[in-house]
Structure 1
Amino acid sequence: MPKVAVYNKEGATVGEITLSDAVFGAEVNPGLLHEVVQMYLANQRQGTSDTKTRAEVSGGGKKPWRQKGTGRARQGSIRAPQWRHGGVAFGPHPRKYGWTMPKKARRAALRQALSAKLASGELIVIDSFELEAPKTREVVSLLKNLKAEGKAFIVTAEENVNVYKSARNIPGVRANAARNLNVYEVLASGKIVLTQDAVAKVEEVLG
């Protein structure tokens, strides 16, 4: 079972924690991770783009000119796609881009993502991190002490509004609760910082 050091918010080692091999020691399947990330990104798409067809554009009820005898090409409506201000022939319409995957596969991918972070030395455990009020400089100081500047992902056991508000002001830094973890956020972050309570929560859900 993997063991990692536990740090305090000053960056000093205060102990050691043994991680669950089932959660943090999973074999990585790149194909599964890719599929889950693609699913996440597709589900973020709004799919609200819309264009009007010739049936939806106003006007064009009258035939522009008679069918024969003018020498010009036959036309049935000035709102046909080839006309200026006409409808769009094959434009986008509202649709859903997302899809779903079995919960078992999603959880397996999350275990693999966390295992990959641990294997690459990008998983950091801290004893605790609480803020009485939103203070961005506290998060900046924490990440500097842990040498986790740049892209970082802070994970708390429960939703912590103060930590979330403090982290969102820093480019590349995210914060979320353990129950809201997803594969994309884990893989997209450079370092992932978990509190000890968050580790226990993750192991409870994924173990």
Structure 2
Amino acid sequence: MPKATVYNLAGEAVGEVELQESIFGVEPHTHLLHEATVMHLANRRRGTHSTKTRSEVRGGGRKPWRQKGTGRARHGSIRSPIWRKGGVVFGPKPRDYGFKLPCKARRLALKSALAAKWQAGSLVILEDLQLEAPKTKLAKDLLARFGVAGDALLVAAQPDPVLRLATANLEKVKVLPVDDLNVYDLLRHAKVFLTREAIARIEEVLG
């Protein structure tokens, strides 16, 4: 089993934790990582775009001119798609872009993302993530102790309003409870901080 050093908020090593080989030691599946990322982004799409067909645009209740004798092309309605301000043919309509990968594929993708971060040395395990006060300076100082300029994902065992407020003004820092951990956020951030309790929860679910 791979072993990882556990740090406190002061950046000091306070112990070690054994990581499950079946999670952090797997070979990352790049195709599944791609599929999981596409799924995450697709599920975030609102899909509210809409255009009007010829039956929905305004006007055109009568034939614009008679069929023959005018020298102009024959038309039956100004709502025709070939008219300016007419309807749109096969235009976008509100739809749901979301889809789901099989459960086994989602679990393996999450394992692959965690393993990729661990193997790249981008995973930091903390004893806890409880700040004294919801102050941005405390969050910045914490990241600076680990050499992080600003791009980081902080994963706590439970939702922490103090930590969320402390990082609210840090543009590239995101806080997640471990139950909301996903492949997209793991890959999007350069450094990932996990608490010891969050590790235990991950291994309980994915192990």
Tell me the residue number matched to 1:198: 198
TM-fit CA distance, 1:133: 4.4
Matched residue, 2:124: 124
Pairwise CA distance, 1:135: 1.9
Match of 1:93 in 2: 93
Q: Are 1:160 and 2:160 an aligned pair?
A: yes
The amino acid across from 1:8 in the alignment is: N
Residue type of the partner of 2:62?
A: K
Q: Deviations over 1:21-77 (max 9, x none)?
A: 112111211111111111111111111000111100121101000111111111111
State the partner residue of 1:55: 55
**1: distance between equivalents of 2:18 and 2:159?**
24
| 2:192 aligned counterpart, secondary structure | strand
Residue identity over aligned pairs, in percent, reads 51
What's the TM-score once normalised by structure 2's chain length?
A: 0.95
- State how far apart, in whole Å, the 2-side matches of 1:24 and 1:107 are: 13
**How far apart in 1 are the matches of 2:104 and 2:186?**
18
Q: For 2:168 and 2:35, how far apart are their aligned partners in 1?
A: 27
Stretches of structure 2 lacking an aligned partner (at least 5 in a row): none
The match for 1:10 is 10
Which secondary structure does the structure 1 equivalent of 2:4 belong to?
strand
Paired with 2:134 and 2:68, the residues of 1 have a C-alpha distance of 75
1:184 corresponds to:
184
Aligned twin of 2:29: 29
CA contact (8 A) 1:154 1:176 kept: yes
> Aligned to 1:114, what secondary structure does the other structure show?
helix
How far has the Cα of 1:132 moved from its partner? 5.3
RMSD over aligned Cα atoms: 1.3
* Superposed structure 1 runs of 4+ greater than 4 Å apart: none
Counterpart in 2 of 1:113? 113
Amino acid at match of 1:68: K
Q: Matched residue pairs, number?
A: 207
The one-letter amino acid paired with 1:148 is V
Amino acid at match of 1:53: T
Post-superposition shift, 1:20? 1.2
5+ long unaligned stretches in structure 1: none
